[in-house]
Amino acid sequence: MGLFDRWFGQSKEDNQPDVQFGRYNDSYRTKEQEELWKKSVAAYEAEKYNESFIAFFQYLQGNRQDSVTYEEKDGQITFSLLQGSKKVDGYVNDQQFVASTKVVHSDRLNVGFMRRLLEYNYALNYARLSLDDDNNICMTFSSYLIDASPYKLHAALKELSTTADKQDDLLADEFDMLHPIDTGHILPLPEAEKAIKYQFIKKWTDDTFKIIEDLDPNKFKIGINYLLLSLVYKMDYLVVPEGVMTETMEKGHHTFFSADGKSPQDKAQAVIKSIKEMMERPESEFHKEMYRVPATFSITAPAEHTQLAAMIEGEMPSMDYYIQNNYTDVALAIPGFVTGHFLFYFSLPQPDREYLHFLLEIMEIEYFKALGFTYDYYDPATGKFNKSAIKSEINSIAKSNKERHPKLSPNTSKLNYNSLPEFAQSFLFMVKDLDLSLEE
């Protein structure tokens, strides 16, 4: 089994369920990819455009998602790439580079969505929205070859494909006359998996709101924010939804981190209101937003291990008060926030990503077991840990990443098994101290 299979559809062991967690992460690039990128840049600077574009597409093909195809024939290149629910098609001739995707189909024109398209167009840097002869809303990027550097192509294709992927579900949900189009590559999830995911979405939200209701909003305003952010990130990473759910999670994240002058209490109420509105929809609407798709581009920002280490250093001491005063749920929300924040918003080095996922496997073991995973790292009923299994998995992750990070040697001796909050705190301190120096 490949090193990355466990993150994009395969689990650690062959007998574990085939479930995806988290969004596509392109932070890891092979040496071959790096050489192809250099080749593409060099060929473009030498005005060998076709050679540059072929190397560029080969570079994209290294993303482990089988999402990019291209063909060169009679001096022209045709290509296609997949990003979520969208398929982007394009061509390169002796004059220009063109890429386009159909976002949604319209039964009839409507002032509301036409105004929305104008707003989107204003915000785009490279692509543009338009209406074709068949009433399909399309998004297109084009450039003369002299301006089509690999840097520009990467930014433009990423903007086009990720924006179209996000907007198709949102537009179709908001406007009755708009419908998804060109989604034949989408893989539906088993109905049983959808039902379990919805069951836990409801359980997580109900439990979190109940905890918040029992807290003094003035005394625990920061603790409440931890609880809500942990909830938002957990639902996004563990369920991997699309459409309205994704928009709600992103809105919650941006609400808390926007510099708008609003108080923590006001921000918490705004996020609670948004999540409650999301939960008022019927279960069938959630099921529609649960499917599996390939990706060419990551939607997350790259991050270094030092950024994760700094957040762990800054946030973990905040747990002490809640642990000492038996506010277990609030205490657990802090490692949930740190872990979720980096899995939601950033593309981390592979060892960090694997360790954070492993912590979630322990903290949310009931969810994993409901999905059919047979892990026995922690028993919530007794509060007991399987220390040998935990240490074995920690060392297994280190071993699988040793070639790229030769100094990776996690110190398991300081793990604290007294309680789940104390374990999570000590686990993240262990992650903070990892040496992820690259091979020389």
Which of the pair, 257 or 208, is modelled with greater confidence?
208
pLDDT at 408 (0 to 100): 94
pLDDT at 133 (0 to 100): 85
How many angstroms separate the first and last alpha carbons of the chain?
26
Q: Residue 240: which region, alpha, beta or left (left: phi > 0; alpha: psi -120 to 50)? A: left
Q: Is the dihedral of CA 324, 329, 330, 333 positive or negative?
A: positive
pLDDT at 24 (0 to 100): 74
Q: Find the mean pLDDT for residues 150-166.
A: 92
pLDDT at 9 (0 to 100): 38
How many of the other CB atoms lie within 10 Å of CB of 407?
11
Each residue's pLDDT tens digit, 243-270: 889 889 989 999 988 888 888 889 999 9
Q: Tell me the pairing of strands 68-73 and 76-83.
A: antiparallel
208 touches 231 (CB < 8 A) = yes
Least confident of 47-56, 154-163, 288-297: 288-297
Q: How confident is the model at residue 423 (pLDDT cuts 50, 70, 90)?
A: very high
Q: How confident is the model at residue 65 (pLDDT cuts 50, 70, 90)?
A: low
CA distance 357 to 82: 26
Q: Which residue type is seen at 263?
A: S
Could you give the maximum distance between any two Cα atoms of the chain, in Å? 73
pLDDT at 71 (0 to 100): 95
CA distance 333 to 421: 9
What residues does 78 pair with on adjacent strands?
71, 91
Please say if the pLDDT value at position 10 is more than 50. Answer: no
Q: How confident is the model at residue 27 (pLDDT cuts 50, 70, 90)?
A: low
CA distance 99 to 123: 18
Please say if the pLDDT value at position 138 is more than 80. Answer: yes
Indicate the CATH number of 31-180 among 1.10.150.20, 3.30.1460.10, 3.40.50.300, 3.30.1600.10: 3.30.1460.10
244 touches 363 (CB < 8 A) = no
Range of 97-101, 218-222, 259-263, 348-352 with top mean pLDDT? 97-101
Q: How confident is the model at residue 439 (pLDDT cuts 50, 70, 90)?
A: low
- C-alpha distances (whole Å) from 12 to each of 22, 110, 265, 372, 394 are 15, 49, 41, 13, 13
Each residue's pLDDT tens digit, 181-207: 777 677 889 999 999 999 999 999 999
Please say if the pLDDT value at position 4 is more than 60. Answer: no
Q: Mind giving me the DSSP string for 11-45?
A: -SSTTS-----S--------HHHHHHHHHHHHHHH
Each residue's pLDDT tens digit, 119-136: 888 888 999 988 888 888
